[in-house]
Amino acid sequence: MRFDSIQTISATGKWLQALSIILLAAGISACSEDKGASFLVRIDGSSTVFPITEAVAEEFQLAKKIRTTVGISGTGGGFKKFCRGEVDITQASRPILHKEMEACKAAGIEYIELPIAYDALTVVINPDNDFITSMTVDELRTMWEPAAQNVITSWNQVNPAWPDRPLRLYGAGSDSGTFDYFTEAIMGEAKSSRGDFTASEDDNVIVRGVSGDLGAIGYFGFAYFAENQEAIKAVPIVAKQGGQAVAPSEENVMNGSYQPLSRPLFIYVNVKSAETPHVRDFVEFYLENSEELIKEVRFIPLPEEEQAAVIAHWQARKTGTGFGGEPEVGIKIQDLLKRI
């Protein structure tokens, strides 16, 4: 017996995947008469994590006949809804912040923090750019720090060896977890960034901008680079002066060499929601079945031992966060879970 299925897509996210969800919903709802359709799992948050959760939700609905809505309002927007009790689960591309912890506390909402995959934030340039073979963290800082606004406008101002070509920057919007993590990793302070760049929650905007301008540079999650390699080029990163340039890849994330732009991705589960069978079943399905789906959407699954630790963490229903309200660069999942 088939069931009713509806996916909700936030107006801020322009996702081609939404079409397939709508078509799936139309086909399935026509023959829906299952009592499981009265249950609903409500999810919102990160546009980066959305492809993973979307893929899991589709498989879960087919297997369990329980409706699941997945919205995209960004990591910050998702936490606002989560801490108001409007959703059962929020997806996040950075950990919960102090102000979000306080909002949840004020509303009496406890949560379980679950890392679900790794990502490699990827700096991208135009494929015809022949003067950039790698970049240092110091060069990225010079380019993106607040003091660069309306001052650093040409590539040769960042490095004299580079041409006097206009510098055009593309990046994540300020409500994005990707923005928070990038600024923390490069500037040492979340949200510390120049403001005169093209900001978007839609990574397709960044792809189009960088692919169409030889002087452009941008950043986003590895999955979007992997899907658009014919249109953009990834920049290997030198973490420390004199160090080796390391390209973003699954191997380099897993061996710890791609720093400081490797990061974990999360879902946060409302503890009260987790007591309901349909939300509990969804989270367990997510943790037990996501590895292949994560690979399909070009993210990096957790190593087996880390995945086992996350499942044990969920089974113990350990609440709170291992980050203390601050983004943190370079942490291992098992070390994180030991803090809670």
Q: Which amino acid is at 134?
A: S
The predicted-structure confidence for 234-249, as pLDDT tens digits, reads as follows 999 999 888 999 999 9
* Per-residue model confidence (pLDDT) at position 11: 37
* Per-residue model confidence (pLDDT) at position 39: 84
Tokens of 288: 């037990």
The predicted-structure confidence for 251-298, as pLDDT tens digits, reads as follows 999 888 999 999 999 999 999 999 999 999 999 999 999 899 999 999
* Spatial distance between the Cα atoms of 257 and 253, rounded to a whole number of angstroms: 6
Mean pLDDT (whole number) for 13-29:
40
Distance of CA 322 to the CA centre of its chain: 18
* Spatial distance between the Cα atoms of 49 and 249, rounded to a whole number of angstroms: 18
The predicted-structure confidence for 153-177, as pLDDT tens digits, reads as follows 999 999 999 999 999 999 998 888 9
Name the DSSP letter for residue 135.
E
Tokens of 316: 């113990």
Q: Which position has the higher pLDDT, 198 or 255?
A: 198
The predicted-structure confidence for 209-235, as pLDDT tens digits, reads as follows 999 999 999 999 999 899 999 999 999
Q: Which helix (H) or strand (E) holds 264?
A: strand 262-270
* Per-residue model confidence (pLDDT) at position 340: 73
pTM: 0.82
* Per-residue model confidence (pLDDT) at position 236: 98
* Per-residue model confidence (pLDDT) at position 256: 87
3-class secondary structure per residue, 190-219: CCCCCCCCEEECCHHHHHHHHHCCCCEEEE
* Per-residue model confidence (pLDDT) at position 20: 40
Q: Which of 47, 48, 41, 32 is nearest to 7 (CA)?
A: 41
Mean pLDDT (whole number) for 133-146:
98
Q: Tell me the domains of the chain and their CATH numbers.
A: 17-117+264-338 (3.40.190.10), 122-254 (3.40.190.10)
* Spatial distance between the Cα atoms of 111 and 275, rounded to a whole number of angstroms: 12
Taking the alpha carbons at both ends of the chain, their separation in whole angstroms is 42
Half-sphere exposure of 127 (CA within 13 A, CB side): 10
